[in-house]
Amino acid sequence: MISSPADRPATAVGDGGVTRSQREIEAVYDAILTGLRHMDHVSGGGERGFLVGVSGGIDSTVVACLLQRAFGSERVFAVNMPTRFNAAVTRENAKASCRLLEVDYLSCPIEDLYQQVSARIEAVEFPRSKGSYDRLVDENIQARIRCSDILAGIAAKHGLIFTNNGNKTELALGYTTLYGDLDGAIGPIADLYKVQVYELGRYLNDEVFGQEVIPCNLLTMETVPSAELSEAQDVTRGLGDPIKYGYHDAVLRQLIEYRRHPADLVRWYLDGERSGFESDWNPDSWSASYRFLFVRRKVRRQVKGPLQLDLFEPREIDYDYRVEFETLCRNWVNQVDVLTLYEFLRFGVTELHFLVRKGTGDVTPPPPPSPPPPPPRLRPCCWCSCCAWCWCWCCWRCWCGCP
């Protein structure tokens, strides 16, 4: 039986009554629970229930566990919404985890809805445009049915708050569906990279629950991470998401948290220098296929995602980073021709030394970017969507205390 949230001490006390320092994963866990419990205050008071769509994957299972620890089993409700693309192993994962968590669980198949909507969309044609009904269109229909229709409808019917189960890696890469799995009132793991989600899952099993609440086949990646939206994402054949987790997590962290220029990454590859990444990913993954990290920036322009629990990361991927990243990209394209950049992103770093300055035989790293000009002394604040630095026109003061 799963213990209640009150059974776990709030602080860890060592010998002599001195509070010991927390490991990072413990601090992440406590911070997420604190943020989740704050929802009782921001949602208008009262103890509302929470609805989570459980797919049987690592993300939704970890979110369900966090909700159970934060609010107790009686306030958590879970829905599994399978189609023919969802394997038996992931369906059983979802059911087994909810049974151990003692939360209300139901299965609501959406195959019939998916067939009707997809058939209708495929048949729609304009006089001047036939359109193209490809695999991506078909997959996104399923995501929108699950979130915008089923989860939103059930939440409205029962007065629940439904969650967003996305992680920071997928959000940054644009591996999400507008009006689909971007929906939700709060994203408990939206500030965690995928590798951190796995670490948190192991922590929950080993030290919070003391049993295998999160199935072992997820933590060992025997069941690969997959959206299960088509035959090309069949977990029984080892087919999953088109993301190299670990590799992309480390690259994203350098670009987002540490504000590395893309030229810095290429220079490290060419020099064989990995000191900036050794703590983040396995060196063997350097030969992994590299895909353009922010190819879907327009999606994030159109929608403000669910409320994220911003934990310990010094930088985020919203407006302040978007402006800076696009400026860096423009400068980078000026240094390396577009064909070279495309081939680098497509084929990966192992072929990079053949592609830089293609046709010239010159493999010299690109020159470092010139330092940016100093920012103006007065710039408006970010919440009013004007710009993003430290000066606030509304309070007429500087947030960071600089002169």
pLDDT in tens, 296-334: 444 444 444 565 555 555 555 554 444 444 454 555 444
pLDDT of residue 287: 35
Supply 371's token pair: 């330092």
pLDDT above 60: residue 375? no
Name residues whose C-beta falls within 8 Å of residue 100's C-beta, 6 or more positions apart in sequence. Answer: 2, 209, 211, 213
DSSP 8: S
Q: Hunting for tokens 């423009």 — which residue is that? A: 330
> What's the pLDDT band for 379 if we cut at 50, 70, 90?
very low
- Cα separation of 67 and 165, whole Å? 12
Name residues whose C-beta falls within 8 Å of residue 359's C-beta, 6 or more positions apart in sequence. Answer: none
- Which residues make beta-bridge pairs with 52? 78
pLDDT above 80: residue 242? yes
Mean pLDDT (whole number) for 210-232: 95
- Cα separation of 234 and 231, whole Å? 5
Beta strands in 188-340 (DSSP E): 307-308
Burial of 347 (0-12, 13-18, 19+ CB in 10 A): middle
What phi, psi does 79 have (nearest 5°)?
Answer: -130, 130
Amino acid at 391: W
- State how far Cα 130 lies from the chain centre: 34
Supply 155's token pair: 């939440």
Check the CA dihedral 112-114-118-120 and report its sign: positive
pLDDT of residue 306: 60
Across 24-38, 162-176, 200-214, the highest mean pLDDT is recorded for 200-214
Secondary structure class of 186 (helix, strand, coil) = strand
Q: Is the pTM of this model over 0.75?
A: no
> What's the pLDDT band for 262 if we cut at 50, 70, 90?
confident
Which of the pair, 329 or 359, is modelled with greater confidence?
Answer: 329
Mean pLDDT (whole number) for 239-255: 84
Q: What percent of the chain has a predicted confidence (pLDDT) above 70?
A: 62
- Cα separation of 160 and 103, whole Å? 14
Name residues whose C-beta falls within 8 Å of residue 296's C-beta, 6 or more positions apart in sequence. Answer: 173, 174
Give the angle subtended at the CA of 21 by the CAs of 17 and 23, to the nearest 5°: 135
> What's the pLDDT band for 42 if we cut at 50, 70, 90?
confident
